[in-house]
Amino acid sequence: MTSKPKKISQSRSGTRVKQPAKQYTVKKPLFEDPRFLAAVIVVLTFIAFFPSLKNTFITTWDDNAYVTENHYIRELNFQSLKLMFTKQVNGTYVPLPLITYAIEYKLFGVHPLPYHITNLLIHLVCTLLVFQLLRLLKINLILAAAGALLFGIHPMRVESVVWIAERKDVLYSLFYLAALVMHVKFIRGGEKATTNYRLTLLFFFLALLSKIEAVTLPLSLLLIDYYLERPLKFRLIAEKIPHFLLSFFFGCLGIFILFKVGLLTVNKILSFSDRFFYGLFALNAYVVKFLFPYQQSAVYPYPVSPGNALPLFYYLNPLLTLLMIFLVYRTVRRTRAVVFGALFFLVNVIFLLQIFAAGSAFLADRYTYVAYFGLIFMAVWGADQLITKKAQQKQLILTGMGVYLIVFMVLTWNRCETWKNDISLWTDVIEKYPGKSVASYSNRGIAYTQEGQWDNALADFTKAIAVDPKYPVSFANRGMVYGNLGRVEDAISDFTKAIEIDTAYTLVYHNRGVTYGSLGQYDKAISDLKRAVKLKPGYISAYSNLGLIYCQMNLPDSAIRIGLEGLNKNPQSADLLASLGNSYLLKSDVENAGAYYRKCLETSDRNIDALLGMAVVSYLKNEIAYANGYINQAQSIEPVLNEGMAGVEKLEQAGYSFTAGKKEILSKIFSQMK
């Protein structure tokens, strides 16, 4: 049996048609895929910073001013937005970071994890923008990825990323880098050139609303023009006029704010020559720390007190600076890359050097966040040149870079853990600079105080006084510890020393007045509290404690007068409303007492003083069920009140104050509830 012959395809002319060959697409290696490299960059950077997600707020260093104690962010409405855009916080104008805090507060309250996540996410976006910018500047894909990863995981990034108060740093950098990316795209032209130009301006404006350090952007744009060899024509300068106008306006605003809050006067204690040598030292230190991030610290203390001769090394820094300038100059005829990178670094760090007296810190890791892009560009460009000239050693060079990056990841991981909480942070500073930084001992003492570790706090404040006997804050803080330890006379002695050093120290007048009141020395208490009010007319706590002193003296009319005076300053003060309720209760004016207690609870429904006051008012009006209800509500907030009058006594020890009449009625209520 024969098989049938296979049918042959034919054309209409009878000739055989040739079948098309199969098409095969060759997949590029993953390391040549920008999306894959971007994912690797994000994952490795996230891993390096992962420990930061377990960190707390640093309430002894600005996190309290920006978040935990910042009333601007408690609401997100027109009034709060108006405050954010028209007021400074802690000497800075940062409306956009404040808006992000307000959103987080509304969604999550005061829990550090969401704030840390936001900081890290912004940093990851900045890192991807660096990747894109390096590619736009024609850096080899693999080396651009290495440069972006170096930016992302560099240990000098830690302060900006894990310190919640430095949200302003990473946020302004995000818009700053985005503006640079848009500028390069604008230079390339095309249909979207106008749009890219406008986006550059928009991102610049947003950067300025995040942190005033963004004023350097016009200079960075000119440097990119130089590197990309744009002809120096009038149009090149004219297109940046809006940028320079924005820069000038916000620069003047920044100077005005620093002057207003007194930060511009800090460095007047240093001579210009000292500021000059400190500035050059900081400049050179940043370069060295880029390669070897040694001895990182939250605070870098001055090596000597003002007026004393600096160590010899500081006087040698001009020579080191001149050497670096010479090395950069030697490259001018061969390439623009080194000049671009060096000047980009210089432009973005020079206004933060001590030479210009821009603040109190002469050296800080956070100052390098944007500036290091210039050094990173030089590093990856140099690596590219080296690989081109020594192609046979490419694998060795890339392996060395990989090892370097792994080491940096480990250093960043460990540095994140240093920032775990206030105590770990300031302990790190003290271990690196023992006996040098009064702020580190003082701040750790405050952290110990917050933890109730009185002996440790006392030791730190005593050490802070030894480091700088003329620093009034240390005496004020130690006085608070003495007060909590029951050493009242020692507390008054320290408060008095603080006042002798700073006669306008409002808080200490208040605290000494309260301490005098606890001793029954009412005339001295009233004198100090009135002095506090005179120095700070809106000092609500001083008004409240004055009212308390008058109540203890059985002078309800005086207490009411001072309470109403304070209420004119702040009509929504829960403490003052409760204090007025107590004053009217002492006067046996139950109706007015109840009215002020209710107003207090409308403002703060967890105010223990007002809840217990309403219980007393309800009992006096024979509304026993209501009295019991207010007691139950107070017990749900302060479980110690489940112990009855023993709980009231414990609240008194914790700082609450009750008149004898109020305690007598509470005793009857608790007795009936049993």
DSSP conformation class of 92? B
Q: What integer pLDDT is reported at residue 13 of this predicted model? A: 42
| pLDDT tens figures, 471-491 | 899 999 999 999 888 899 999
Contact assessment for residue 495 and residue 469, using Cβ atoms and an 8 Å cutoff: no
Contacts 24+ apart (CB under 8 A), 138-144: 139/377, 139/380, 139/381, 139/384, 140/380, 140/384, 141/32, 141/34, 141/37, 142/31, 142/37, 142/398, 143/380, 143/383, 143/384, 144/380
Distance CA 177, CA 159 (A): 19
Q: What integer pLDDT is reported at residue 669 of this predicted model? A: 83
Contact assessment for residue 100 and residue 147, using Cβ atoms and an 8 Å cutoff: no
pTM of the model: 0.83
Distance CA 430, CA 426 (A): 6
Q: What integer pLDDT is reported at residue 139 of this predicted model? A: 92
Contact assessment for residue 618 and residue 627, using Cβ atoms and an 8 Å cutoff: yes
| pLDDT tens figures, 335-370 | 999 999 999 999 999 888 877 655 567 789 999 999
Distance CA 121, CA 152 (A): 11
Question: Residue holding tokens 């223990």?
Answer: 608
Distance CA 126, CA 103 (A): 21
Q: What integer pLDDT is reported at residue 10 of this predicted model? A: 45
Half-sphere exposure of 343 (CA within 13 A, CB side): 18
CA dihedral sign, ordered 364, 367, 368, 369: positive
**Which residues, given as ranges, of the chain have pLDDT below 70?**
1-27, 257-269, 305-307, 356-360, 654-655, 674
DSSP 294-344: -S--S----SS-TTSPPPHHHHHHHHHHHHHHHHHHTTTTT-SHHHHHHHH
Q: What integer pLDDT is reported at residue 389 of this predicted model? A: 83
Q: What integer pLDDT is reported at residue 227 of this predicted model? A: 94
Distance CA 585, CA 553 (A): 14
Distance CA 495, CA 204 (A): 47
Distance CA 508, CA 525 (A): 12
Q: What integer pLDDT is reported at residue 23 of this predicted model? A: 56
Distance CA 107, CA 402 (A): 40
